[in-house]
Amino acid sequence: SQTIHQWPATLVQPVGSPLSLECTVEGTSNPNLYWYRQAAGRGLQLLFYSVGIGQISSEVPQNLSASRPQDRQFILSSKKLLLSDSGFYLCAWRGEGMFDTQYFGPGTRLTVL
């Protein structure tokens, strides 16, 4: 069966520090991968998605970036965090079929102070 992992679960970082959040998927190959953010009182915001290794689509302009160095690994990064980067970050995967369900990881709670 497929599983999705995210780490760390929680993170407190000072403003201006770098960020690296990791997401890995097991039990599937060539998944579509997604990074979402939930800020307090706001819904799901799609940040990035990837249909294959090295293929990243950005949905919103920001100081975040994403990379997919391996088929089942998706990394969210920042060189310098802003206060507004605080939120709950969710990774998700979906199969290649148009009817495939999107499955979510447990999330990372990021607090920027």
Partner 1 sequence: AQSVTQLDSQVPVFEEAPVELRCNYSSSVSVYLFWYVQYPNQGLQLLLKYLSGSTLVKGINGFEAEFNKSQTSFHLRKPSVHISDTAEYFCAVSDLGSNYQLIWGAGTKLIIKP
2-25: string of b/e by CB count within 10 Å (b at 16+)? eebebeeeebebeeeeebebebbb
Q: How far apart are CA 107 and CA 98, in angstroms?
A: 24
104: contact with partner 1 by CB under 8 A: yes
Binding-residue pattern over the window 42 to 61 for partner 1, x denoting contact by CB under 8 A: xxx-x--x------------
CB of 80 to partner 1, least distance (A): 27
What residues line the site for partner 1 (CB under 8 A)? 42-44, 46, 49, 88, 90, 92, 98-99, 101-107, 109
